[in-house]
Structure 1
């Protein structure tokens, strides 16, 4: 795992200053504390920071191909590199290292762009072909590894693993994009369709760019997609056996490492499944770690301990307390863009804990998206059933009126919080799912925006790209389209961003076996009845894992990696909540109604509403824009 950065001149191949590339790499030194390198040629410069995982001493980067005709910088891991190396050797390729980097170079020279489907793993890389005078940028199927891009006024394109690599370049403008603020307030993160800074883009997951000197900037090309349009045939027993085989392959392929390896263990279905399969494949105790909270109802360390004892792991745990709120500036620096998934804090803490003993940790991320494990998936399937019974001409006015009239009862038990359900049923399937996925609904955003921001936003609404993505999805049903949106929009924007930045901040490589693309493709073809059944998500996976895990782990209510920010903002952090309404930074932007922000904070502190997530969003937005030095 590493960090990469570079400069490429699209117009005249001007000389590239190596010191400029080096400064970009220095900004992401945390991603690669074990080595560094810069290479330049007319019109191009490539930089690399290395975290040594495979072939510890033998694969420095930037790396030249055997014939010297191509140069590579690479962030990630290719899990089938040994098989590919043997296949390439059979065609005459010669290798001088034992790592995966040289395999990527040989694969590019043998197959060109068609090398991408052969690579199994997580990656973002750049290859400069000196013979063809092209720069090839590529990102893995699901976007586990990031890649930021920005064209500059001097005719160059800069790229890097994190936004801070780009902001280290003096020609990058730091102007905040108001549409990205609309996106952020809606989702709690800035999705891959946009960046918080105008002019900066993210190479989408499963896409590549092939750039040439003396040519205009091309559009990214999609090289992989997942289809929910087909249904796998076979009995439930046969599909269960295939699922277990794919899970085993995914886990064991990610256990290859020349440095100490372990796993995150929350005590939930997914991380427990990964640990169970690691224990099955390992002759030594698996090193596991977990994070708990000082709020008892949110603490899951007891379940993690149960799994650790069951599989005799070498287990360690630590508690996150309200004092960890003081780390907000560290989080803002870690993510660059505003990022309000509050589970980033415990994710960072568990990465710190893991890094004390290991350099690689396997996580359980991805199964909920692939196998319909979220509660919203069950709701989506049920709501689509109701939508099918009533025409929209009746549904919209009836449920719309009920949704408008029903109170927003944050204080009530979940079964009585019907407002969002009514509003969802009044909308189309795609619009309803966008509401389920959003953090801040449109009516709340409209209330807190200033008139100036309303004018800047115009007709754009953050839900539009998600709705369009779902409408165009290769899918059969509303559940299919919801999962497709999760894999293409939510996963790279939120979950994978969180894990990448939190792990890389401490020099830890996180691997996601449940995002193996073969497992994802299989899951997308599963009949709906094997995904959700009797109000349970991830139905087939839970059934398959009963041979390893007890029912009180498999079928307990899903908790998630929740941070107790609601309690914090009503207790010792109440003053921080009040200060949000008076924030000089937000006021300076002129994009928010300060009176409305103060009312939100007061209502939360008094217990009349739970506005903790929105308060956290606003706080992270202020700190992030402040650190970026972004102007409105």
Structure 2
């Protein structure tokens, strides 16, 4: 996991170096840069795979192609086997992507399984930028009169360039010759309509279990330690159960990390799960003092002012700060509620109708990169911690959306995510397996602590709270977050933030 900057055109390299320095937190282990033809590539490295040899920008043996990448290519071992005639110089997963792109160009992109944002260059000036199909990894770009800039975070860009910054769309690549081209959809066209016939329940639960187990195990690759963010809810508990089983089989103990206020139901549940699984468990207690300190930082880090996003980011930020002292990568439960209809609003009209429910699940999965995945990436990468999201593996997404929406509805005698619960019967304590879903702020006790901290912060602000004719600020807390956001990211267009930036 890393931070990248790239430029195409006649852009001053010193601008690019300053951009890279602004995202040094994403990769504290190393810095690399390369200027070739009219292209500049920069990389801040967080060493996870091939710690010794995976330095970027990465070149092939003949220095005929170069790449910088942020993310992980989980099927790199399979790709290496398919490229049996290629001489590999490192054990880095990124090198598989480099050779595949060198040999096949943009046609290589659909073969990459994982989360990535990358920039690829050739000595003759050939260039390609791309982002994974779900947008798990961030990428932004800005057009200037003298060229095009790319970076992992908004804050990387010069203030003068920020009004032109846009989110690079997931599942697309760009070259100077072709412009934007789609290489993959977040949800394949064949799955955008509900399945015609329900699959037998037992077969469905087995498919879900086997696919998710494979996804977690694929994401256990790390030379720098890996753990699980354990919220106390069903989704992270399932991830922890699979990861703990894999760790035991490999003679190791899984580290788990939980956050909440003293005595909160999430902390109690996480402790129970950890004891059941035999993990090396760590807890962070939320207090008004540490939340007050983290609140402005959360707004700056996530580059957003949405109240629900800010409130959920504060505990994650505190947890990530602690966790990076123990491991360099964690698994999280992002995506499960969108795939298996976990949110309470999905069990109210109009989503009690199967077709409407399926359409909403497809929409919410396709737009995860706007909010939840942005929070997940920023709060962890603020401290050089890599977050991996097993529920959003391509095979898991396709399996989940091939399930009839009728099987995800809450009926008498059934709970939300009934299918997921039954798929992992016996893997967790019964009281966890059937624990009702709570909003993160409620279960962790964060909501009360955050509200108190926001009120305290408001009393300390001696400048006017910001307002804007372009956006409706719903309450005083949101106005406070907006003030902090606008101060940090001067120049970003307010209208763009409403959809987390236009995609073209």
TM-score of the alignment, normalized to the shorter chain, above 0.5: yes
1:547 aligns with 2:429: no
1:245 matched residue in structure 2:
210
1:630 aligns with 2:491: yes
Partners in 2 of 1:565 and 1:279 — Cα distance? Answer: 27
The structure 2 residue matched to 1:365, chosen from 291, 311, 334, is 334
Partners in 2 of 1:202 and 1:233 — Cα distance? Answer: 37
1:615 matched residue in structure 2:
476
CA contact (8 A) 1:4 1:161 kept: yes
Within 5 Å, give how 1:376-387 maps onto structure 2.
Answer: 376-380=345-349, 383-384=352-353
Deviation of the 1:329 alpha carbon: 2.5
2:146 matched residue in structure 1:
155
1:98 aligns with 2:91: yes
Partners in 2 of 1:17 and 1:382 — Cα distance? Answer: 52
1:228 aligns with 2:192: yes
1:262 aligns with 2:230: no
Partners in 2 of 1:115 and 1:307 — Cα distance? Answer: 41
2:45 matched residue in structure 1:
50
1:326 aligns with 2:293: yes
Deviation of the 1:569 alpha carbon: 7.5
CA contact (8 A) 1:149 1:202 kept: yes
The structure 1 residue matched to 2:391, chosen from 497, 504, 514, is 514
- Deviation by residue 1:382-428 (Cα, 9 ceiling, x = unmatched): 554xxxxxxxxxxxxxxxxxxxxxxxxxxxxxxxxxxxxxxxxxxxx
1:145 matched residue in structure 2:
137
Deviation of the 1:566 alpha carbon: 5.8
The structure 2 residue matched to 1:71, chosen from 61, 66, 72, is 66
CA contact (8 A) 2:273 2:429 kept: no
2:179 matched residue in structure 1:
218
1:164 aligns with 2:155: yes
2:261 matched residue in structure 1:
293
Partners in 2 of 1:264 and 1:567 — Cα distance? Answer: 21
2:499 matched residue in structure 1:
none
Cα–Cα, structure 1 residues 573 and 361, in superposed 2: closer, same or farther, change >3 Å?
closer
Greater Cα radius of gyration, structure 1 or 2: 1
CA contact (8 A) 1:586 1:592 kept: no
- Deviation by residue 1:523-545 (Cα, 9 ceiling, x = unmatched): 11101232223263222111111
1:496 aligns with 2:373: yes
2:114 matched residue in structure 1:
121
1:280 matched residue in structure 2:
245
- 1:300 aligns to what SS in structure 2? helix
Within 5 Å, give how 1:392-407 maps onto structure 2.
Answer: none
Deviation of the 1:42 alpha carbon: 2.9
Partners in 1 of 2:365 and 2:182 — Cα distance? Answer: 18
- 1:586 aligns to what SS in structure 2? coil
Cα–Cα, structure 1 residues 382 and 102, in superposed 2: closer, same or farther, change >3 Å?
closer
1:586 aligns with 2:466: yes
Partners in 2 of 1:572 and 1:33 — Cα distance? Answer: 30
Partners in 2 of 1:570 and 1:279 — Cα distance? Answer: 35
Partners in 1 of 2:371 and 2:455 — Cα distance? Answer: 27
CA contact (8 A) 2:3 2:24 kept: yes
Partners in 2 of 1:381 and 1:339 — Cα distance? Answer: 25
- 2:55 aligns to what SS in structure 1? coil
Structure 2 regions of 5+ residues with no counterpart?
494-504
2:2 matched residue in structure 1:
2
1:536 aligns with 2:418: no
- Deviation by residue 1:290-323 (Cα, 9 ceiling, x = unmatched): 00124x5x54100000000001000010111122
Partners in 1 of 2:349 and 2:109 — Cα distance? Answer: 34
Partners in 1 of 2:110 and 2:362 — Cα distance? Answer: 20
CA RMSD between the two structures: 2.4
Cα–Cα, structure 1 residues 269 and 208, in superposed 2: closer, same or farther, change >3 Å?
same
CA contact (8 A) 1:569 1:576 kept: no
Deviation of the 1:135 alpha carbon: 1.7
Within 5 Å, give how 1:435-514 maps onto structure 2.
Answer: 477-489=355-367, 491-514=368-391
Within 5 Å, give how 1:406-421 maps onto structure 2.
Answer: none
- The TM-score, its normalising length taken from structure 2, stands at 0.89
Partners in 1 of 2:327 and 2:450 — Cα distance? Answer: 34
- 2:441 aligns to what SS in structure 1? coil
Cα–Cα, structure 1 residues 367 and 569, in superposed 2: closer, same or farther, change >3 Å?
closer
Deviation of the 1:21 alpha carbon: 1.8
- 1:77 aligns to what SS in structure 2? strand
Partners in 1 of 2:176 and 2:50 — Cα distance? Answer: 30
